[in-house]
Amino acid sequence: MPIESFRPQSWNGIDDIVIVGGGLAGLFCALKLAPRPVTILAAAPIGQGASSAWAQGGIAAAMSPGDTFDKHVADTLEAGAGIVDEKMARFMVSEGPARIHDLLEYGVPFDRDLEGKLLLSREAAHSERRIVRVKGDMAGKAIMEALIAAVRNTPSIRVLEGYVVEELVREGRFISGVVARPDAGQSKRRVHFPARAVVLCSGGVGHLFAVTTNPWEACGQGVGMAARAGAIIADPEFVQFHPTAINIGRDPAPLATEALRGDGAHLVNSAGHRFMLDIHEDGELAPRDIVSRGVFAEVQAGRGAFLDCTSAVGAHFPDMFPTVYASCIAAGVDPVTRPIPVVPAVHYHMGGVLTDAEGRTSIDGLWAAGEVTSTGVHGANRLASNSLLEAVVFAARIAENIKGMLPEPKLNDWGENAGESDDLVTIEDSAALKRLRRLMSDHVGVIRSREGLMTTIREIATLERENTRMRFHNIVTTAKLIAAGAYLREESRGGHFRSDFPEQKASWKHRTFLTLAEADRVVAELSETKAA
């Protein structure tokens, strides 16, 4: 298929910097790079299709009296189950307050107390109140709205919406651009964007699984693209399930924010029993992987799981948590008077493209930020509200690194930003994708086993042979990396639980680094075993 070169008016033939993705990391990086020329390629209109906009809890930052960077780092290390990169975590935590002030300058209306100070909340596994929120559960939406307005008003940032990036262009050691498909990925033509630097901010992997809280666009294409270009992928087996997705049959599943449990809501089964107290001393505020397995066990046993907010929040629910309240009411559940049915759902991927402290990947010319990456700050299990913090901290570090490495170009005047698109990207709702999502949920979900992982890896190999579309290959490549990583790690740790290896092993107290070639070797070995 022919690939066109993009030639807008007043364009000199090569983009200085191309950012793939219009979520928090991508927009923040673009703003930090200003006034350098930047092109943002977004599959959907910016603000739509990004998990950032759906984040309810907020951003964690050690800013309250009595809190310290050391305490925040300690909580992050504890949640990460022994494999957090402490140096990277300390970078993230120590730069958090400065990034919060950046967001305030961009117009984010964080909640304040009567004295005008930032109002800080507590979430699971945090030892202090350090979550900066907006109207209880609207942080992601408010942050994105403020950044979108700032981006639209920055003349050095060109936004091209409806461009689905399908391929990273590699020339020798360098990534030299990207290839994208316009018209929300439905066009028959593909367009080549040469670039001096590519920043991958394409989001997570939730829609590789049948039950997820993530938008459709979070289907792992960025990890797959990077792996196919030769990038090292780190910790792919660690997938975090949010324990309290609202169980009303919607895809994606709406979220009952962690902040509800932080404010005292209880998890009960159909008999009204608080089952988490039988599992962990912290009850509902135990680390997410433990709560997820507890909820999963109740659902699997037929007792169901419910989040009872009637006493802790009660009549204040509509004002304190309007997003959750609206989702419940739409499903016929009044959370003021009735417990909310919940189920674990894929929420966040701790694994992804390996980056260093400056956001550089293992391939020259390619940087990455946000959920597509594995910086090491989350270890085996992300601490609540550290994800938005990670996105802004490392997006800013990337901007500084690029400014220091690349010569300053002549600023092109592109005039107005590219017009908004009414098209929403639609991932093909094919039988192959449905089959993949069900496989991943059944065998690479909350609880995993050797047999289930072997079955999944062999099925993935079949799906690869039967489907040739590049977008599907990016998606299935990420699934293969996650399944292979889970198969190789013969222990349980954080977001990775093996029923056949239920305990942690000291020999596995380290991060995983995997290339596509290594994952393919696992596939080949299992295929040979089956044939024999």
Residue 514 token pair? 């995997």
Q: Tell me, what DSSP letter sits at residue 28?
A: H
- Taken in order 84, 90, 91, 96, the sign of the CA dihedral is positive
pTM of the model as a whole? 0.88
The structure tokens 């666009």 sit at: 217
CA distance 524 to 305: 40
Long-range contacts of 152-156 (CB under 8 A, 24+ apart): 152/417, 154/30, 154/31, 154/34, 154/35, 155/35, 155/413, 155/414, 155/415, 156/33, 156/34, 156/35, 156/36, 156/37, 156/38, 156/411
Do residues 506 and 491 lie in contact, with contact meaning Cβ atoms separated by under 8 Å? no
Q: How far is CA 346 from CA 239, 284, 415, 517, in A?
A: 7, 18, 41, 26
Phi, psi (rounded to 5 degrees) for 332: 85, 20
Please report the pLDDT score of residue 216 as a whole number: 86
Do residues 186 and 166 lie in contact, with contact meaning Cβ atoms separated by under 8 Å? no
Long-range contacts of 184-189 (CB under 8 A, 24+ apart): 184/43, 184/44, 184/421, 184/423, 184/424, 184/425, 184/426, 185/43, 185/425, 185/426, 185/471, 186/423, 186/426, 188/1, 189/1, 189/2, 189/4
Phi, psi (rounded to 5 degrees) for 119: -90, 120
Instruction: Give the largest Cα separation in the chain, rounded.
Output: 72
CA distance 444 to 453: 7
Q: Which helix (H) or strand (E) holds 120?
A: strand 120-121
Q: How far is CA 400 from CA 25, 88, 393, in A?
A: 14, 16, 11
Please report the pLDDT score of residue 429 as a whole number: 59
Rg of the chain over Cα atoms, rounded to whole angstroms, equals 22
How many CB atoms are located within 10 Å of the residue 68 CB? 12
Which residue among 170, 181, 261, 288 is the active-site one? 288
**SS3 annotation, 295-356:** HHHHHHCCCCCEEECCCCCHHHHHHHCHHHHHHHHHCCCCCCCCCEEEEEEEEEECCEEECC
- What 3-state DSSP class applies to 156? coil
How many CB atoms are located within 10 Å of the residue 59 CB? 28
Q: How many residues does the chain have?
A: 532
| CB contact set of 91 (below 8 Å; sequence gap of 6+) | 357, 393, 397
Of 161, 252, 259, nearest in space to 205 by CA: 252
What are the pLDDT tens digits along the chain (532 aa)?
446 554 443 344 556 899 999 999 999 999 999 999 999 999 988 877 677 767 767 899 999 999 999 999 999 999 999 999 999 999 999 999 999 999 999 999 999 988 889 999 888 789 999 999 998 778 888 999 999 999 999 999 999 999 999 999 999 999 999 999 999 888 989 999 999 999 999 999 999 999 998 988 899 999 999 999 999 999 999 999 989 999 998 999 998 988 899 899 999 999 999 999 999 999 998 877 889 999 999 998 999 999 999 999 999 999 999 989 999 999 999 999 999 999 999 999 999 999 999 999 999 999 999 999 999 999 999 998 999 999 999 999 999 999 998 876 554 443 333 333 333 334 455 889 999 999 999 999 999 999 999 999 999 999 999 998 899 999 999 999 999 999 999 999 999 999 999 999 999 999 999 999 999 999 999 988 776 5
Give ∠ CA 288-292-294 in degrees, rounded to 5: 120
Identify whether 228 is a catalytic site residue: no
